[in-house]
A and B are shown apart, each in its own frame.
Chain A
Amino acid sequence: MFKVRPGPGEVLKLIGRLDASEAEGAMDVLLKVDHSLTADCSELDYISSAGLGVIMETYKRLHARGLGLRLVNVSPHIRNVFRYVGLDRVIEIDQADPSHPDS
Chain B
Amino acid sequence: MSERRFGRTFRSLEGIFKFVAEFLESSGLPAPAAFELDLVIEELFTNMVKYAPHGAPEIEIGLTRLGPDVVIVLRDFDVEPFDPTRAPRADVGRPLGERPAGGLGLHLVRRIARDLRYDYRDRSSTITVTVTTAPGL
Contacts and interface: CB of A to CB of B under 8 A. Distances in A.
Interface residues of B, number: 25
Contacts of B90: 85
Interface string B98-127: 000000110110011000000000000000
B10 A49 contact: no
Interface centre among A50, A80, A86, A90 (most CB of B within 10 A): A86
Given A20-B13, A21-B10, A80-B137, A49 B108 contact: yes
Nearest to A52: B104
Contacts of B128: none
Contacts of A77: 32, 35, 137
Interface stretch (B22-30, B36-44, B58-66, B76-84): B36-44
Given A20-B42, A53-B104, A59-B96, 12 more contacts: A19-B13, A20-B13, A20-B46, A21-B11, A46-B39, A48-B42, A48-B108, A49-B105, A84-B107, A84-B111, A86-B92, A90-B95
15 contacts: A17-B17, A21-B13, A21-B14, A48-B38, A48-B43, A48-B46, A49-B43, A49-B105, A49-B108, A60-B96, A77-B137, A81-B39, A84-B92, A85-B90, A85-B92
